[in-house]
Structures are given as C-alpha cells and as structure tokens.
Amino acid sequence: MTLIDGKKTAAEIKSEIAAEVEEMKARGERAPHLAAILVGHDGGSETYVANKVKACEECGFTSSLIRFEDDLTEERLIEEIKRLNEDDSVDGFIVQLPLPRHIDEQNIIRAIDPAKDVDGFHPINVGRMSIGLPGFVSATPAGIMQLLKRYGVETRGKHAVVLGRSNIVGKPMATLLMQKSNPGNCTVTVCHSATPNIKEICRQADIIVAALGQPGFVTEDMVKPGATVIDVGTTRVPDASRKSGWRLRGDVDFDNVAEKCEFITPVPGGVGPMTICSLMINTLIARKDNPYK
C-alpha cells in the first residue's frame, strides 16, 4: 500500500510555483494577485480563506482579503465583483462559499468574469472543461488529478466510481476521469443518495473517489483488493482529546480499508492540502497563460 501524501505534494508544487514567480519578478513582471471575498464569520470559511492567504504568501503572490458582514445585499456583492472584474491588478478572485441564505449563489458565480474565475465555478468554465477546452477547473478535482499524475496511478481503461454528485467535486471529477487524457480514460460510474446498490458498484471499482460528506462511509467490504481510494470527506467530528474539541474525519474507514489498497489518501493530509494548491496553479495560469486572453 502506498500512502498518497497530499501535504508533501502540495508543498512541492508550491515551491515550484514560488520559483516561477521569483523568475517573473526577476524579469520585472508583476506577481500574480488573488483576491478573496469573505462574507460573514463562518468558522470553516474563516479558516479556508486564512489558509488561501497563507498559500499566496508561500507562492510569492499578492493577496487581498475583502470582508463583508452577513447583512450584505446581493446587489452590493455583485457591485464588488464587477469592480474586481475590471481591476487589471487582480488576476483572479474567489467568493468564499457558502453565502448567507438571502444571497443567490448562482447569481454571484455568474457575475464573475470567467477569465478571473480561478475557482472554476462559472458555467462557462464548467462547460469548457466538459468539452475539453482550456479554462479553470474546480480546485478539488484538479488537485486529485495532480495526485493521480504525480503518484503514477494507472487510470486508462480503469473503472472509477465517484461517490457524490456535487457541482464542486463529484460532477467535475467524473468529467475529468472520463476525459481523453492522462490521467483520464476511465469508465466512470457516479453514485449518489438515490443509488440503491452502492456497495456492489464500489466492489467493482479500480478507483473510488469518495465525496459524500458521510464519515467512514466506505468500509472494507466495499473495496476490491488493489484499488485506489481517494477520500474527499472532511467532516468535523467531536473529539474530546483535542483542544479544539473536534477532528477531521474522511468518508473512508481508513484504518480497515488502507491495507487492501494499492494507493490511498489520508484525512487530513491527502486531498485537502491539494485543493488550495490548485487554486494557486489557477491563479498563476490566470496571470501568465490566461486561456481567455
């Protein structure tokens, strides 16, 4: 069994990016600039955004954090997005989700210029990815593709089972795994809450990507010997032995599943660190090789 070390891989990629940014600066070019909009004070979102700002520092990027209180109107948020769309000093920006309930997320995503949508959430970027055109790909699935590539996981002709059909992970993951590329060329099955025989389907999988948000869902009896298991789950579960009172738990029963696998990602330290890394890659592309320019 090989443990896929996302923390180490993310650190390697960030240092590769930092070296490239150093070269850009040495040529007198401006460093990439990522802006993040954070609405309200959700604990998880605060942590994610703080980690994104920290990753920008590690890569030598400029970052801006724009904060609003959660009584912000949709109109005011769209106004801010339009300002960022037009600001030539900003290469890419994200609006941290979830947003307060009175704001329509899809209206917000549609307001972002696809050329600056480094989250890859805009319908134009989703559409371009699905037909294999260059654009920005959602960070978590892009990070998983990097891990498969860097660990040399064979994907061609393999049966990949994706658990979960979210717009951010499950759907783009399935699209990328079936793409005519390497990694890619998988036969893909997507399972979700209305799939009756998930266990049976998982047992046929060469690759399982678990993105359901149900801690410990993938058990030992669902995994074929020699399979590759990628765990996207990051649910906070109570843990009295921690100062915080919680720990992160994945969608895979790691302790019992790991020994059956050829490759497996841990939680934490697997997919999680790669997600922010993909955002850094997208921001560098937005600055340097923007597919829309």
Binding residues for ligand GUN (CB under 6 A): 94-97, 119, 139
| Catalytic pick among 117, 119, 206, 231 | 119
Which of residues 140 and 155 has its CB atom nearest to ligand GUN in the complex? Answer: 140
In the complex, residue closest to ligand GUN by CB: 97
Active site residue 106: no
For ligand GUN, which is the closer residue by CB, 63 or 96?
96
Closest approach, Cβ 155 to ligand GUN, in A, equals 23
CB of 95 to ligand GUN, least distance (A): 6
Smallest gap from Cβ 48 to ligand GUN, in A, equals 6
Total Cβ atoms within 10 A of residue 142: 22
Q: Which of 5, 14, 91, 96 is catalytic?
A: 96
Contacts with 206 (C-beta within 8 Å, 6 or more apart), sequence order: 158, 159, 160, 224, 226, 227, 228
Nearer Cβ to ligand GUN (81/198): 81
**CA 99/CA 103 separation, integer angstroms:** 6
Q: DSSP labels for 221-266?
A: GG--TT-EEEE---EEEE-TTSSSSEEEE-SB-HHHHGGG-SEE--
Question: For residues 223 and 258, is the Cβ–Cβ distance under 8 A?
Answer: no
Strand 235-238 and strand 246-249: pairing?
antiparallel
In the complex, minimum distance from the CB of residue 94 to ligand GUN, in angstroms, rounded to a whole number: 4
Least distance between ligand GUN and beta carbon 181 (Å): 22
Helix or strand holding residue 35 (H, E): strand 33-39
52 is catalytic: yes
- Tokens encoding 76: 């005011």
- 3-class SS at 37? strand
Nearer to ligand GUN, 100 or 258 (CB): 100
Q: Which helix (H) or strand (E) holds 160?
A: strand 159-163
**Nearest-angstrom CA–CA distance, 20 and 18:** 5
User: Residue 250 CB, nearest distance to ligand GUN (Å)?
Assistant: 16
Residue whose token pair is 């915080």: 244
Report the candidate in 123, 125, 137, 110 with the shortest Cα–Cα distance to residue 277. 137
User: Would residue 179 show up in a list of annotated catalytic residues for this protein?
Assistant: no
Catalytic residue among 5, 14, 52, 206: 52
Residues known to be catalytic:
52, 96, 119
